[in-house]
Amino acid sequence: MSRARISTTLTLAALGLGLAGVVVSCAGSGRDLAALGGVDASNPLEPEGGVLPDDAASIDLEAGPAYAVLGVQPSHGPFVGGTRVEVRGRGFSSQSRVLFGGVEVPASAIVATDPSHLQVVTPPGVPGAVDVTAIDVPSSAHATLSGGFLYDDYYASPNGGATSGGTHVTLIGSGTSWSAGTSATIDGKACMALVVDDATHLRCTSPAGTPGIKTLTVTTPDGTVDTARDAYTYADTTDGYRGGLDGAALPGELRVIALDDSGTLVPGATVVVRGADASVQSALTDANGLADFPAPPPAPLTVTIAAKCLQPQTFDGVTVQGVTAYLDPVLSVACVPPTGQPPASGGKGWVAPTVSGEIVWRNGSEFIRAPWTGVAAPSAPDQRRAAYVFVAYNDALARFSVPDPTTAVTETSPGTVGYQFTTAAQPGNLTLYAIAGIETRPEAGTPTFEPWVFGVARGVAVAPEATVANVMIPMDGSFSRSISLAPAGAPFSSRGPDRLDSSVNVDLGGVFMVIPFGAREDLLPLSGQLSFVGVPPLTGALGTSSYSLAVQDVTGGSGGAPLSAILHLTTRDASVPVAVGPFVPIPHVVTPSASAAWNGHTVQITVDAGSPFDLTKVVLTSADGSTAWSVVAPSSARTIELPVLPTELGLPSGTLNLGAWAARIDGFDYTRLRYGQLSRYGWSAYAYDFGFGSY
């Protein structure tokens, strides 16, 4: 973050270059000066691009102090902390303490890789420059780099999105003074549909961009420019924050944007708007994929978007002025382009980034890799000690499966202070975790993995198609706790559901560490509590984490419908059984039905009696699976009138597969609906049932 009125004074002596007393002053250049120890662009010692070579911290052209902090890379990050940085200097040890300003970094967030490098995860701080201090505990030696790290005064959530744009981004500030007239850019391009909620919160929609890590800039009406570098990442992937509903409340002009699932604007799409008074307006999207309705019917509206060879979507209960739709392709031979290739799906091709580093045990001699303590010895010929490294993602229902044995880290893996790993990843600010244990791979039968030790590395910044190296994961966690559930009120009938699938994982901050012994299945009805043995205690690297429990009330051993699931029960107290409930009532599609031909435009649902929920979703799919019409509505909707679309835009005649979802979403606002809230990844609880119809 560079602010237009910041002035920084830095001393070149911090580099140990024999230039003590030479002082450089700079004003708001946005350069990574702290990482350079104060070298500016005019200094011939600074390499092109303003970043020191990897071994620069050990350069010693003239003798300097034995204990020193020479640089921090990266030299800035958000005020909420969580940035993985490398502190470079001299005299470091495994007993080094580190402070950012007056805030000490927990020992679990520091890894000493050699006397010149410490891997550190920044604690929360106050916006602005802070001193970075290292202290050697045995000798009491200490060193400080003045203004060595700059806390940005705002950050983006999410901090990345698709290159096609359309991601709904919230900027969250601390001490900012945002007001009406404030503007924001991403990589120099204006952030669209910007709304200032208050002095520290604004919302906008990302413009299209090119892959890479980009700069955010906010400009207030008085001309103050506030820049956060490396704050947003574009990648050729979809994201859960794109599309949906947004804008000011109706009445007013309605704008509908149509894109395909890869983010390409769709001209010539049909948009049909039905008002609360049953009046209907329609239009085609222009060359920019836009359809404007200057005076739409009275709200709430039912907005349908359809295009040839793209699957139609309907948003019911619309009360705002913006609808952005991403349409999936129709998987039909009739839609194969002349080249003979299948229709576009899933975005553009890209090369997955990789992350490499070492898993480290910290119980050996200084800077010499230690043996695998805490992991039992193999007791059979088909067993071995093995560790696997995972990227934590946002699937709270993920279940552990034993990975491919060729990806294992073993005691014979190379390394310096630990044992090397390499894993594929997605772009973004990632959390990695490693689990070490006893792996059993019998000649016949299912492989198993018994966990003993784990480690976590947070704040790993990964750019698109990049390689991130030297990520150290300290293996200092255990699986020594147990936790119990007390389910109540699970739907149960002769038709189903008939069993509970339960799981416990660790919430690392919206992404999850999947526990090997964290899943079980029990038949209904239940008696007593359900227990999980072998979960990690919430200490050390998990000191700010929580347990995330999921219970799925399902039908049959394959986990089928009807079902009702609670996905995000959280607790930090493993000593008290966690009460599970209330479950979401099960929805059913009444029309269309198998008993009568569908009229092509009326959808009716019923919902069993039960607790409140937030969102209804109905999907009508042709028997061949080529075309699905998705209908999204508020929880109150029971009858939805769709437009009668031409044959080439709607569903083919024949049998229909029907699916109905009722979802509960934490902090939900239907007027700010996002595509990420249309699947279980964005739900806290949901129920689902299926049926059949004819058309």
In a domain, 124, yes or no: yes
Weakest mean pLDDT among 94-108, 336-350, 623-637: 336-350
330 and 362 assigned to the same domain: no
- What is the distance between the alpha carbons of residues 270 and 293, in angstroms, rounded to a whole number? 13
Count of structural domains, the chain? 5
In a domain, 342, yes or no: no
465 or 136, greater pLDDT: 136
pTM metric for this prediction: 0.79
504 and 485 assigned to the same domain: yes
At 406-448, the pLDDT tens digits run: 999 999 999 999 999 999 998 888 999 999 999 999 988 899 9
110 and 163 assigned to the same domain: no
576 and 463 assigned to the same domain: no
The per-residue pLDDT for 338 is 53
The per-residue pLDDT for 568 is 84
Amino acid sitting at position 283: A
The per-residue pLDDT for 508 is 94
Rounded average pLDDT over 314-334: 93
User: What CATH number did the domain enclosing 267 receive?
Assistant: 2.60.40.1120
148 and 158 assigned to the same domain: no
Rounded average pLDDT over 230-245: 85
136 and 181 assigned to the same domain: no
- What is the distance between the alpha carbons of residues 117 and 91, in angstroms, rounded to a whole number? 9
In a domain, 628, yes or no: no
Which domain covers residue 507, as residue numbers? 481-580
140 and 17 assigned to the same domain: yes
With 90 as the cut, is the pLDDT of residue 29 above it? Answer: no
Percent of the chain with pLDDT over 90: 70
In a domain, 444, yes or no: yes
With 50 as the cut, is the pLDDT of residue 51 above it? Answer: no
How is 582-617 classified by DSSP, letter by letter?
A: PPPPPEEEEES-SSSB--SSEEEEEE-S-S--SEEE
Weakest mean pLDDT among 11-15, 308-312, 459-463, 581-585: 11-15
The per-residue pLDDT for 44 is 28
37 and 128 assigned to the same domain: yes
The per-residue pLDDT for 337 is 63
CA distances from 312 to 137, 330, 388, 569, 644 (A): 65, 9, 42, 34, 12
User: What CATH number did the domain enclosing 511 receive?
Assistant: 2.60.40
With 70 as the cut, is the pLDDT of residue 16 above it? Answer: no
Rounded average pLDDT over 70-84: 95
With 90 as the cut, is the pLDDT of residue 9 above it? Answer: no
277 and 205 assigned to the same domain: no
With 80 as the cut, is the pLDDT of residue 341 above it? Answer: no
Give the pair of three-digit tokens for residue 604. 């009716």
Rounded average pLDDT over 244-255: 93
In a domain, 543, yes or no: yes
In a domain, 166, yes or no: yes
With 60 as the cut, is the pLDDT of residue 683 above it? Answer: yes
With 80 as the cut, is the pLDDT of residue 92 above it? Answer: yes
223 Ramachandran zone, left/alpha/beta (phi>0; psi -120 to 50):
left
The per-residue pLDDT for 10 is 32
Rounded average pLDDT over 238-252: 88
46 and 101 assigned to the same domain: yes
The per-residue pLDDT for 11 is 31
Rounded average pLDDT over 382-396: 94
399 and 465 assigned to the same domain: yes
In a domain, 653, yes or no: no
- Domain end marker among 118, 152, 186: 152
The per-residue pLDDT for 332 is 82
At 569-623, the pLDDT tens digits run: 999 999 999 999 899 999 999 999 999 999 999 999 999 998 999 999 999 999 9
- What is the distance between the alpha carbons of residues 397 and 145, in angstroms, rounded to a whole number? 44
169 or 64, greater pLDDT: 169
Helices (H) and strands (E) counted in the chain, each on its own, are 0, 50
Angle at 201 between CA 197 and CA 207, to 5 degrees: 95
Percent of the chain with pLDDT over 70: 89
CA 623, 626, 629, 630 dihedral sign is: positive
6 and 118 assigned to the same domain: yes
User: What CATH number did the domain enclosing 35 receive?
Assistant: 2.60.40.10
63 confidence band (pLDDT: 50, 70, 90)? low
At 279-318, the pLDDT tens digits run: 999 999 999 899 999 999 999 999 999 999 999 999 999 9
Rounded average pLDDT over 82-98: 94
N- to C-terminal Cα distance for the chain?
58
The answer to whether the CB of 103 falls within 8 A of the CB of 128 is: no
On average, the pLDDT of the chain sits at 87
CA distances from 639 to 188, 317, 590, 629, 636 (A): 46, 11, 10, 16, 9
- Domain end marker among 431, 446, 478: 478
- Domain end marker among 478, 511, 542: 478
With 90 as the cut, is the pLDDT of residue 693 above it? Answer: yes
In a domain, 594, yes or no: no
The answer to whether the CB of 96 falls within 8 A of the CB of 139 is: no
Angle at 411 between CA 405 and CA 412, to 5 degrees: 85
Strand partners, 658: 620, 691
